[in-house]
Amino acid sequence: MKMKKKMLVTLLLTAAMVCTTLAGCSTPTQETANTGTETKDKTEKSSTDTKTRESATSVETDKLPAAGIGAQITSDVKANEEYKIGYIAKNTTNPYMVAQAEGIKKAGKDMGFEAVTQAPSTADSVEEQVKIMEDMIQKEMDVIIVHCADSNGIMPGVRKAEEAGIIVITIGTPASEDTFLRTGVDYKETGGTIATKMAEALNGKGNIIILEGPPGAANAIERLDGIKEAFAEYPDIEVVASQTANFKRTEGMSVTENLLQKYTDVQGIIGMNDESALGAVQALKAAGKTDVLVAGFDGSTDATSAVESGDMFATYNTDPYGSGYIACAYAVRNLNDKTEPEGKFIPFPSAANDPLIMADTVENYKENIAWWKVIQ
């Protein structure tokens, strides 16, 4: 069923996502100051571009259109008509994307709609994502769910879809402007949680390296913002370097190798996702450093194993399977009876399910919660 009118953005709250919180950390060396300035400039630009996005809306679990997490997620929502929902991933190689697609396919089976999943032939190409969106518009999808390769670059496709009356939902990396709905975790909150845990483990003192995400990825910017704000509460925590590793393991390794040549006294490394953090683990092993705390985000299979073995300090369950599923539940509910979501950004409620994966919680996560079991 093709939507008859364009979905309107109704609430516009400013989401301040600038890295001016860097001022709360100790003054870095000249090289780090330069790196920090570059990061700040990129982030301030993104903040300007994303100023219309609504901040997170908390929703009580029993009011959500789906219940549970990971493979246990279910919903009572059923499609009243033969809807078509398209999903556009960033790539087909990252387990996170694979699990997200599987969550949407499972939702299609449970709720009774046709699920179509696609990804760029060139990994992480936002230009190809826009072309896929245009093709889905021509095929009259009722809903397009997209994990944006670039928050600004996806906007031409988003606008065309909305003009065609198609519901657009972003999941994971959001668009630079509000759509019908954005779901996924609260990235700023997750960043702050990981940073606080690391600072506490270091007794409030230490030198930190941050492996940033792609410059155009708003989720990475939000996560970085949360990390910086948390570290600002610890005057003896110093971010000595903050450079992009583009969410990739190979870059996480090479960037860390290079930074360790200059910064030999490092106590902690935070990657903006598990892949970059795992690259840092490889670099540390090669350098013979075994006392550096490494943290990432996503709760992937390899990161879970790394926490279990002690190679990583922590990771965070972002449950891509569950967030894909719940996005579909919101979409089908609206297609059925025009029910609007409670806000434009509703974080997936993983906070109620021990999302922080550390030495004392990893076994429970591995046995009872892990999203990656659905793709094994």
Chain centre to alpha carbon of residue 86: 19
Q: Residues 95, 197: one domain?
A: no
Secondary structure element (H or E) that encloses residue 345, with its range: strand 345-347
**Closest to 258 in 3D by CA, of 275, 272, 245:** 245
Q: Is 308 exposed, middle or buried (0-12, 13-18, 19+ CB in 10 A)?
A: middle
Residue 133 and residue 166 in one domain: yes
Q: Out of 316, 338, 369, pick the residue that ends a domain.
A: 316
Q: Are residues 176 and 196 in the same domain?
A: no
Query: Do 225 and 200 have their domain in common?
Result: yes
- Specify whether 191 is located in the same domain as 312: yes
Q: For residue 252, tell me if it sits in a domain.
A: yes
Q: Which residue has the tokens 């670059």?
A: 153
Tell me what pLDDT residue 23 has: 32
Query: Token pair of 167, please?
Result: 């519901």
Task: Indicate whether 200 and 180 sit together in one domain.
Answer: no
Residue with tokens 């969410």: 247
Same domain for 107 and 256, yes or no, is no
Q: pTM for the full model?
A: 0.82
How many CB atoms are closer than 10 A to CB 59? 15
- Could you tell me which of 168, 153, 274, 278 has the C-alpha nearest to residue 223? 274
If asked whether residues 40 and 155 sit together in one domain, one would say no
Structural domain for 287, as ranges: 20-49+187-316
- Per-residue pLDDT of 119-132, as tens digits, reads 999 999 999 999 99
Whether 13 maps to a domain, the answer reads no
Give the Cα separation of 177 and 179 in Å (integer): 6
Q: Are residues 192 and 177 in the same domain?
A: no
pLDDT at 21 over 50: no
Query: Residue 367 has what DSSP assignment?
Result: I
Per the structure block, which two tokens stand in for 252?
């996480």
| Higher per-residue pLDDT: 178 or 27 | 178
Tokens of 359: 């030495």
Amino acid at 255: V
Tell me how many domains the chain contains: 2
Query: Which CATH number fits the domain that encloses residue 69?
Result: 3.40.50.2300
Check: CB of residue 111 under 8 Å from CB of residue 83: no
Q: For 31-43, what is each residue's pLDDT tens digit?
A: 333 333 333 333 3
Residue 372 lies in a domain: no
Do 144 and 168 belong to one domain?
A: yes
Domain assignment present for 26: yes
* Residues 203 and 99 occupy one common structural domain: no
Q: Over the stretch 44-101, which tens digit does the pLDDT of each residue have?
A: 333 334 445 678 887 877 788 998 888 889 999 999 999 999 999 999 988 899 999 9
Q: Is residue 121 part of a domain?
A: yes
3-state secondary structure of 342: coil
Q: Is residue 8 part of a domain?
A: no
